[in-house]
Amino acid sequence: MRKILVVLRLFFEAQLSIRAISRAVHASPSTIGDYIRRFEAAALSWPLPDELTEQALEARLFPRPSVPPSQRTPPDFAYVHRELRRKGVTLSLLWQEYKAAHPDGVQYSHFCERYRAWSQRLDLVMRQSHRAGEKMFVDYAGHTVGVVERDTGEVRETQIFIAVLGASNYTFAEATWTQGLSDWCASHERALRFLGGAPEIVVPDNLRSAVTKAHRYEPDLNPTYADLAAHYGFAIIPARVRRPRDKAKAEAGVLLVERWILAALRNRLFFSLAELNQAIAELLERLNDRPFRKLPGSRRSAFEAVDQPALQPLPVCPFEFCEWKKVRVHIDYHIELERHYYSVPHTLARKQLMARYTANTVELLHRGQRVASHLRSHRQGHHSTLAEHMPEGHRQMARQWSPQRFTRWAEDIGPATAALIEHVLQQRRHPEQSYRSCLGILRLAKAYSNSRLEAAARRALSLGTHSVRSLESILKNRLDEQSLRQQLDLSLPTVHDNIRGPDCYH
């Protein structure tokens, strides 16, 4: 009021212009003009009467509105707080809707001021601003729950996975055996099925199943986890290392689950993972239905009103769990995966590839491009080879020769020869590598006859030798015509100057 009195004195007594008064009191000309118009509208005269106090002058110049704000229809700030989480909704829009319904309501500045004062009384978690369907925060609880093995009585600890939606705080929790990649991805999938949709962003911690290499700006995501995100259409933004506020919703969700679920189960014994998850699901329903302390409704009602309509629809097919591994192509244009061998184009020999494998398929990628695909096989020591991956020379040999052809050829000679050929084919990693040895053995029949080769094969099997040179030596020295006992007697002399007799041991 002192500045107003100075303005009135300069205007009426000093006869200064509005602009001169503006420069003198450091106020805008429009403000000075407003003061003078209010003075004239109040039908006051200068100098002011002595009995007119500053409070009375302020009441004359700035009369209160006919309807005080306390008597106007107050805004529903719980509704305002909930609607602000929707995409594109602002305080200005909500105030306009409020004024349309209540023309005598408070003005915009007072509306904003009262909402900010109201929001400051909320809990820290509720004060965070998250759009509907925008973020889901995931983490594991620090506490574990033991499951007792019925047969041994051993207690096996389980991990508690927790997911919380940002806007509604709707919570999902379940127990898994580990925090490994397969359990991590399976928990995400069950959480999305529980919600009935997918958010835009998932915020995990920097555990190994989510982030292979942590970085403030460009963390390296686990390839399988990235595939899961691509399948369900959400982005992954890991929390910064040692920045728990980046995932404050998850931290609060963990605290709630530990207090209202795990603490309630502390005195119960569980004998299977399914039994434990059934108990968690029952308490989870109660947690989501508990009323908020400072907001109307519950997590479930907030989810149904805010988050659920904004979630992305889930794909028809569930995510197929896959794993990734760096592999090196061997010189025989095959890669090894869990002791089975899969072919790739022979031009990629000695190159490094990425193997993406599921329970049913194996895909091999070179610089992001798929170069080979096979059905998954668990036969260790065997190989899966596609003809188009082989060089032309190998393809011609494969067309002309096969293990079955060698086996049939050997069976025509005799069972011992067939058994010898089978053994030679199984000795090598790939049957093609044994073709030359098989040819060398079978062609001995042309030089020595089928009967002699069969006898030589029988002797070779008894002696545990299977090479072409051994068979040639047997046939060349006509050992196939001698009995095996006779040969052993000749090869093991019992009387010699250098052999001590039994008398030396008395």
Cβ atoms within 10 Å of 94's Cβ, excluding its own: 21
Beta strands, E only, 344-436 = 352-357, 361-366, 369-375, 383-384
User: 262 has which bridge partners?
Assistant: none
Judge contact between 296 and 78, C-beta under 8 A.
Answer: yes
Only one residue has tokens 């603490």, namely 263
Judge contact between 378 and 370, C-beta under 8 A.
Answer: no
- Strands of the 323-328 sheet, one edge to the other: 323-328, 352-357, 361-366, 369-375
Judge contact between 35 and 11, C-beta under 8 A.
Answer: no
d(CA 465, CA 457): 9
pLDDT in the model for residue 177: 93
Query: With 0-12 CB in 10 A as exposed, 13-18 as middle and 19+ as buried, what is 12?
Result: middle
Only one residue has tokens 């068979």, namely 471
d(CA 359, CA 290): 41
Helix (H) or strand (E) run with residue 385 in it: none
Q: Classify the C-alpha dihedral 208-210-216-218 as positive or negative.
A: positive
Left (φ > 0), alpha (ψ -120 to 50) or beta: where does 334 sit? beta
pLDDT in the model for residue 399: 57
Residue in 315, 382, 301, 300 with CA at minimum distance from that of residue 342: 382
Helix (H) or strand (E) run with residue 60 in it: helix 54-61
**What does 12-59 look like in DSSP terms, one character per residue?**
HTS---HHHHHHHHT--HHHHHHHHHHHHHTT--SSPPTT--HHHHHH
Query: With 0-12 CB in 10 A as exposed, 13-18 as middle and 19+ as buried, what is 294?
Result: exposed
Q: What is the mean pLDDT of each run of 10 residues along the chain (506 residues)?
A: 76 82 84 83 78 76 61 81 78 88 87 86 56 87 89 90 89 93 92 93 85 74 88 86 66 84 88 93 92 85 90 89 89 87 90 89 90 89 83 65 80 89 78 75 88 88 85 86 60 57 59
d(CA 214, CA 240): 8
Tell me the CATH class for 135-310: alpha beta
